[in-house]
Amino acid sequence: MAVYSFEGRKPVIGRGTYVHPSADIIGNVVVGGRCFIGPGARIRGDYGRIEIGSNTAVEDNCVIHARPGEQTRIGDWVTLGHGAIIHNCSIADWVVVGMGAVVSDYAELGEWCVIGEGGVVRNNQKVAPGAIAVGVPVKVVGEVSQEYKDQWRRFKEIYSELAEKRYLEGLKPL
């Protein structure tokens, strides 16, 4: 893993968190415990601060950044799908951001909301708790069911287990 200080600011990575060797974490970044930071992820706290809660999965090739002097905040039990771009926004607990989605400056995603694959959340756009939003820009098309929540609790626990145990013990370079 490539973890860098930047101008005296050092990343803080929680207990049981797995950071893949090809991921970069730079500067003013705090990552909670039992997180999974996948291959190719770039988390850059060079301009602003980035906070990632516990049990959060930052899948392969995600980019997370913040504006100068500002902050990107990502809650607990969040899943950021492969290739998502997260910039200077606020993401509540239990959110799913689909593969290739973009969440822009000052956007706010409420608890348990889902952003569909390839969706674009515009600057200052707010997505309500429990809403399912898709498209470019995203529009709400439904609400998260209890069945969905139950299913995703299990999926999210799998990533926490990957981070805390399986990757640490089972990933071996050839």
The model's pLDDT over 19-68, given as tens digits with 9 standing for 90+, comes to 999 999 999 999 999 999 999 999 999 999 999 999 999 999 999 999 99
- By residue range, what is the domain housing residue 55? 2-170
Residue 5, burial from CB neighbour count under 10 angstroms (0-12, 13-18, 19+): exposed
When divided into structural domains, the chain yields a total of: 1
How far apart, in Å, are the Cα atoms of 140 and each of 131, 134, 143? 6, 7, 8
- pLDDT tens-place values along the chain, 174 residues long: 588 899 999 999 999 999 999 999 999 999 999 999 999 999 999 999 999 999 999 999 999 999 999 999 999 999 999 999 999 999 999 999 999 999 999 999 999 999 999 999 999 999 999 999 999 999 999 999 999 999 998 888 888 887 777 777 767 666
Which CATH number goes with the domain that contains 134?
A: 2.160.10.10
Neighbours of 76 (CB within 10 A): 19
Per DSSP (E only), the strands in the chain are 2-4, 12-13, 18-19, 24-31, 36-37, 42-52, 57-58, 63-65, 71-74, 79-80, 85-87, 90-91, 96-97, 102-103, 108-109, 114-115, 120-121, 126-127, 131-134, 139-143
